[in-house]
Structure 1
Amino acid sequence: MEPSDIENTVDWLGCPTPLETCRHQLALYENEFEELTLQLRQERERIFKLVEMHAEAVRQRDEAMATLREKAAETAKIRRKMYDLRTSENAYKKEAEKLREINAILTARR
């Protein structure tokens, strides 16, 4: 055997030919491509679900904010009524006090 034949492995038993090596590499690439395609599809589905979840959360937030605004308006009306009632109460207390004074003066004259 000549030293230049050491690099020539074409006729070795069980050693793949360059064409077989290329076909094997191509099969590996095809498998990897299919796997990556599957993973991409799964991730797209997950992203779609996340987008749906986000849209639902935004809808719920908007509903909660609308409810909060309604309750805040109701609270403002009730506070205004309470203020008006306190004002009326103070006015009636002053008037009642004046009437007591008048009553005390009239009672003292008898």
Structure 2
Amino acid sequence: MNSYEIEDTSDWLGSPTELETCQQYMLMLENEVQELTLQLRKAREDIFGLVQMNGQLSNEKSKLKIELGTANTQIERLHTKTSEMDIQVRSLLLIKDQRDHLLRQMGIHNDIKTSEHHPST
């Protein structure tokens, strides 16, 4: 095929020139850069929000840790107090059992039971 037989289509209607094609490609790249810039801005805002949330959660965690320590201290104190009271109750029950045993030996157990149920006024 000879070069004079190749049809030159550059001047056809509707076919973009090389400059027009480059300009169109440049516009597409500009639009893409603008979209990526918007996405980047949104991502930065999201990151900033997450950093703020993380700071708030860290503060709240610290406060709750202190409250937990205080609650654990109070629980330990109450546990100790309960143990002491349990020892006292056991001692009183032992004394009561000894008293009941002595009263039974003395034969006056029924009189005491009656007066316990009906205290004198």
Task: Name the TM tier (shorter chain).
Answer: 0.7 to 0.9
Matched, 1:35 2:69: no
TM-score in terms of structure 2 length: 0.70
* Letter aligned with residue 79 of structure 1: H
Q: CA deviation at 1:98?
A: 4.5
Structure 2, unmatched stretches of 5+, are 109-121
Give the total of aligned pairs. Answer: 105
The 2-side partners of 1:12 and 1:101 are apart by 125
Q: Which string of whole-angstrom CA distances, capped at 9 and with x for unpartnered residues, describes residues 16-44 of structure 1?
A: 21111111101110111011111111111
Matched, 1:52 2:48: no
The 1-side partners of 2:61 and 2:91 are apart by 44
Structure 1, unmatched stretches of 5+, are none
* Letter aligned with residue 61 of structure 2: R
Q: CA deviation at 1:96?
A: 4.7
Partner of 2:9: helix, strand, or coil?
A: coil
Q: CA deviation at 1:62?
A: 2.4
Aligned to 2:82: 82
Matched, 1:3 2:1: no
Q: Return 63-72 or 37-46, whichever deviates more.
A: 63-72
| Aligned sequence identity (%) | 29
Report runs of 4+ in structure 1 exceeding 4 Å deviation: 96-108
Aligned to 2:23: 23
Q: CA deviation at 1:99?
A: 5.4
Alignment root-mean-square deviation, CA: 2.4
The 1-side partners of 2:73 and 2:9 are apart by 88
The 2-side partners of 1:47 and 1:3 are apart by 62
The 2-side partners of 1:67 and 1:55 are apart by 19
The 1-side partners of 2:17 and 2:64 are apart by 70
Q: CA deviation at 1:101?
A: 5.8
